[in-house]
Amino acid sequence: MHSRVDDVLQVLDDCCAAYAFPLLDNGYVYPAAARLSLHHSNDDWAIVIETFGYAPREGTPSTIIQTFASRLVNRKSSEQYVNRQAYQNYLAQHPHNEFRSVYPFDDDWEAIADEEGVAQRTQYVSLRGARMNLPTLESYATLGIDLENRPRVQIFELCRAIADLRRNDVLATIEERRHNLDPTLREILVLDEWRHPEFIEQNENRATPKRSSNWLSLSLPAIVHDIDRRCLRTRIGGTGSKLACSECAPRRRCGRAPELCS
- 22-78: pLDDT as tens digits: 877 778 899 999 999 999 998 899 999 999 999 999 989 999 999 999 999 999 999
Rounded Cα–Cα distance for residues 124 and 246 (Å): 33
Per DSSP bridges, beta strands 30-40 and 45-54 are antiparallel
pLDDT tens digits along 70-82: 999 999 999 999 9
207 in helix, strand or coil?
Answer: strand
Q: Which of 9, 12, 18, 8 has its CA nearest to residue 209? A: 18
> What average pLDDT does the chain have?
78
Rounded Cα–Cα distance for residues 103 and 91 (Å): 25
**pTM summary value:** 0.77
Please give the full DSSP string across 48-94, using - where no structure is assigned: EEEEEEE-TTT-S-EEEEEEEESS--SPPPGGGSSSHHHHHHHHHH-
113 in helix, strand or coil?
Answer: strand
